[in-house]
Amino acid sequence: MGSSHSKSRLATYPVSEKNNTRLDSKLSDLSMRDEYADSEIEPSISLRLSSVVKWEEKLFADPKNRLALSALTTHAATAILQKPSVLLNDTHIFSDKVELEGSPVTNQRSSGRCWLFASTNIFRVGLIKKYKLGGFELSQNYLGFWDKLEKANFFLEQVIDTLDEPLDGRLLQWMMVAPVGDGGQWDMVVNLVEKYGLVPQALYPDSFNAKATSRINWLITVKLREAALALREIANSSSSTKSDELQSYKAKIVQQIYGILVLSFGVPPKPEDTFTWNYYEKDGKFHTLTTTPLDFYKENIGALSMGASSILENVLGGDIMGNADKGVGERFSLVNDPRNPYNRLLTVDRLGNVVGGRNVRYVNVDMNTMKAVCIAMIKAQRPVFFGCDVGKFSDMQKGILDTNLFDYELGFNVSLGMDKGQRLLTGESLMTHAMVISGVHIVDGKPTKWRVENSWGDASGEKGYLIMSDDWMSEYCYQTVVDPAYAGKAILDVLKQDPITLPLWDPMGSLA
């Protein structure tokens, strides 16, 4: 990516007076409640044991804290502090729901491929309708295989493009962290589908290593880090054919990575290889289809886009989304990042998977705007891909995402006062997981909770489905992928802007 963002301005994050005021007002909440503080103890640079003794005496003078000690030292805090009222209120009843939710419930196993599962869970809805299927999955392993190979090539090209950067600098060190990690973003899905197409899961199912990727990820990462050092050595040599040598060495490494992937994930179909798919309609009628992965995608653009193809081109004119402006490529990301101005286009420097592919782009909007588009899509029977920080205030066994789920003040005498922007600034929160919204409950014109399709199997939540409170969505949802038909021209116009470029290490560059 690199030079492609030369017209973009780099983002800066001043802390607003508003945020400072709010945080100042909460400072006492971030330590022991006033009743447990001792005004007679003078501040000290070093920790005084005499102070600790007095704090302890104050703490256990309250019987509640003696009870808390017994409970919290022998049980998980999340089990002790869970609010029963929240469990009673968070039920799977919704005023608006996508009628056809894809089946079966998917399971990414011990891998971080949630973005591929969330995207294919959306794609399959239109295919289930078109082919009258009872249940269906697209091959996540197929997209995952080509993603890792593309990421390896992308990483090595970035190494070549940053030869003048210090090896111990922040950029190179960040690039080295997880060059072929399982995570990804919506625009990266588009790159893969546009280049490689789609295949039914039955034709390229998950291998053992696709279900448990950590060892293969480690092996490829070590090889790529080693290759990065070798490329820099070649660049520092006095050879007159350095450019050719760099590309030759890179090609050798990519070939080796391909070998690792084939031996661990299986030989994948090629984009133009013919395959035959045999299937039954839900009423038992047999069919057979012979095509290629690319043709399977192109022949089903209408089903995959559910009738929204070409809207961006018709509304705005021209090719504003790059080469992938129809089909799955028409959908784009709304994000909520309070650190940056709303109604602005954002991108992340050097974040991608396919060299020459579509850059990661986000339209930054307020949460009310994001929710309004999601509601419009659900009412139109279109599920919504979204990215969130799934580990915060959640019980995945019960399938609940709710900011009121745990009462930490009751157990520990503290409350947490940071807002969404402050959590991003301090590293407290970022996008960690992608799922699908398939329902919403609206009361008096306002959403109160959302139905979520996860990819952790049917033992999580209610047969694989979760409940997300509306407050939780406001605080911990960062991204939704929306259909342009429901976004409105004001949002679509933002796509024509030169983007604000966030650095690679920015939390909005996290891969779900």
What is d(CA 179, CA 231) in angstroms, rounded to the nearest whole number? 15
Query: Beta strand 400-401 with 465-469: parallel, antiparallel or unpaired?
Result: parallel
Give catalytic status of residue 5 as yes or no.
no
CA atoms within 13 A on the CB side of 71: 15
Note whether 357 and 411 are within 8 A (CB). Answer: no
What is d(CA 27, CA 25) in angstroms, rounded to the nearest whole number? 6
Instruction: Compute the radius of gyration of the chain from its Cα atoms.
Output: 25
What is d(CA 356, CA 191) in angstroms, rounded to the nearest whole number? 9
Residues 6+ apart with CB under 8 A from 59: 32, 36, 65
User: Which residues is 401 bridged to in the sheet?
Assistant: 394, 468
The conformation of residue 306, written as its DSSP 8-state character, comes to T
What is d(CA 292, CA 271) in angstroms, rounded to the nearest whole number? 6
| Catalytic residue chosen out of the listed positions 5, 114, 374, 413 | 114
What is d(CA 119, CA 126) in angstroms, rounded to the nearest whole number? 12
How many CB atoms within 10 Å of residue 99?
8
What is d(CA 436, CA 482) in angstroms, rounded to the nearest whole number? 12
What is d(CA 164, CA 130) in angstroms, rounded to the nearest whole number? 52
Residues 6+ apart with CB under 8 A from 465: 92, 101, 105, 399, 438, 451, 452, 453, 454
**Helices (runs of H) and strands (runs of E) counted in the chain:** 20, 14
| Catalytic residue chosen out of the listed positions 141, 153, 353, 433 | 433
Does residue 286 sit in helix, strand or coil? strand
Give catalytic status of residue 92 as yes or no.
no
Note whether 209 and 264 are within 8 A (CB). Answer: yes
C-alpha dist (Å) from residue 504 to 158, 424, 507, 508: 12, 14, 8, 9
What is d(CA 446, CA 30) in angstroms, rounded to the nearest whole number? 32
Does residue 446 sit in helix, strand or coil? strand
What is d(CA 402, CA 470) in angstroms, rounded to the nearest whole number? 8
Give catalytic status of residue 114 as yes or no.
yes
| Catalytic residue chosen out of the listed positions 5, 121, 454, 477 | 454
How many CB atoms within 10 Å of residue 19?
17
The helix or strand, by DSSP H or E, that contains position 287, with its residue range, turns out to be: strand 286-291
What is d(CA 69, CA 77) in angstroms, rounded to the nearest whole number? 11
Per the listing, tokens 């290759």 go with: 227
Q: Which residues are catalytic?
A: 114, 433, 454
